[in-house]
Amino acid sequence: MGMTRERMETVGVRFPLSDIEWLASLSMKDALTPSDKIRAIVAEARRRNEGLGDYEAALSWLRDLLAPAISAIKGREFRSENPGMHSELVALAAEWLPQTLALLLAQGAPERGQGEGQEKQERQDNAEMLMAFEVQLARRAFQFCESLLRLGVGRSAPCYDSEIIRSGLPRIIELAEVVSFSRNRE
């Protein structure tokens, strides 16, 4: 069972010399020739565009986008003079950021045109969608805050700088106490 290939068309495109030089120097997995690289760039742009409005597609795209940076960080950890160097804060952020950005991208998709009679229902649906989105975003934010606080349990945080969490916690704890006090007065 062979893979079917989509029919290809030739398109003539003019580029500034600086873009051609950049394209020639660009290193892309499975794309060696300028044509391969342009096809890969178009496929990536299409994938990014289709990810708007789709959480899973946006999350996949964002993880792929961040993968080289995360790999570079892990490589630096591995090559560090300090054996076993690792930061739970960096790992937490690398996991949380794409999930949160995917949530924003999925919600922020451009609206499709609808008929005139649907305007009132559309406004009500928009309000409900925005409130549900806000709930999801708040959950993600509180999960991140809770995870940060968990890093503060114990004598030293599992971070490159074991004092980084401890030094930031007093302000958070003070703010939480103020919020708790004001809620108890209500």
CB contact set of 137 (below 8 Å; sequence gap of 6+):
100, 103, 104
Structural domain boundaries in the chain: 16-50, 55-107+122-185
Whole-model pTM over 0.75: no
User: What does the pLDDT look like over 104-158, one tens digit per residue?
Assistant: 988 876 555 544 555 656 666 788 888 999 999 999 999 999 999 999 998 888 9
Percent of the chain with pLDDT over 70: 89
The closest of 32, 45, 47, 38 to 11, measured between CA atoms, is 38
